[in-house]
Amino acid sequence: MKLPIILNRREGIAFIGGFMGSDANIVIDNAQTKAFIGTCTASLRDANFEKLKTLLDQICSEVGSRFTLYGSNGKLRKAVIIDAIANSTCIACVAKKLSNNATSQRIDAVYRECHKLAVSILVEELCYVLSNWGYRVSFSTEANTEYGKVDVLIKLTNYRVSLQYGIKEVKVEVKTGLSLSLSQLLRYILDYTDRAVVLWRIRSRQVLVFEGSELKPLLTQFMKMIISRGKRLLESPEVPCEHITQLGNWSPTQQELQETLLDFVKAVTETLPSVIKAVAEELDINSEVKQS
């Protein structure tokens, strides 16, 4: 594995803590759920990695059904479930979060705009650099058109950029804030244990490369934790909780906003070349090989 490329001006990773809540009543009212919990308990100890992923999906499905956690397209909101379970050891806090009764924190829209801009800049820079190296590049929406075979396929989603070259694939996660949820990072890698994930932490001046296969031991323990805590959530008839929700609305002052934007501009400029380099190295592509 190649060593991570790190441009670090600030140290540390902030873990986003659990959500607080009040009393929650959870009753097991389904025989199938009871049977599943028993099976889950028996299978957890000796399960291999793939079996744990199956159990994780089953736990998410049961919890999603209990709390009606589905998107507008009917798809299970698995990310919401995993993050809520991972971020607190208090079952009542987890239930409160999943019930959507906890006060949510509203962040100024400027940070979402910074994220969208960073992703757009990254995509166009990748297109420009790879095209200059002699590679044919296409967005996923153009992949099946008459333009012919593509060397590098760039896919866009709401939060990440995906690049494919031959049998290799790299995910680039873009983070514009200073905090990072470890459960979120592990979720990213969980789907791509055989691929690399490049984490671009812009304002922290960090470009980190993670090989999913090397994190399998941690991912195994992470899944076991989610499954075990999800099982407790499903089988707990009543969970008292006196935690106080301390989230609220937040918006930067004029000075904070100006400082944030100026820092963002500098950070993107400083770290973008390292992101391009990390992606190219993970895909094992460069200008000399293609143009020779």
The model's pLDDT over 27-45, given as tens digits with 9 standing for 90+, comes to: 444 555 555 555 565 566 6
Which residues in the chain come in under a pLDDT of 50? Answer: 1-29, 101-103, 142-148
Q: What is the model's pLDDT at position 8?
A: 31
Q: What is the model's pLDDT at position 34?
A: 56
Q: Tell whether 143 is covered by a domain.
A: yes
CA distance 60 to 75: 12
199 and 122 Cβ atoms separated by less than 8 Å: no
Q: Tell whether 13 is covered by a domain.
A: no
Q: What is the model's pLDDT at position 77?
A: 92
Q: What is the model's pLDDT at position 112?
A: 85
Q: Tell whether 1 is covered by a domain.
A: no
Residues 6+ apart with CB under 8 A from 48: none
Domain that holds residue 187: 24-291
Q: Tell whether 48 is covered by a domain.
A: yes
Q: What is the model's pLDDT at position 102?
A: 45
CA distance 24 to 154: 44
Element (H, E) at 172: strand 168-175
Q: What is the model's pLDDT at position 23?
A: 35
Task: Report the number of distinct structural domains present in the chain.
Answer: 1
Q: Tell whether 7 is covered by a domain.
A: no
119 and 266 Cβ atoms separated by less than 8 Å: no
168 and 140 Cβ atoms separated by less than 8 Å: no
Q: Tell whether 6 is covered by a domain.
A: no
Q: What is the model's pLDDT at position 146?
A: 38
As beta bridge partners, residue 174 has 200
CB neighbours (10 Å) of residue 94? 30
Q: Tell whether 15 is covered by a domain.
A: no
Q: What is the model's pLDDT at position 2?
A: 38
Question: For 250-262, what is each residue's pLDDT tens digit?
Answer: 677 889 889 989 9
As beta bridge partners, residue 243 has none
Q: What is the dihedral of CA 177, 181, 184, 189, to 10 degrees?
A: 90
Q: Tell whether 205 is covered by a domain.
A: yes
Confidence (pTM): 0.74
As a residue count, the chain comes to 292
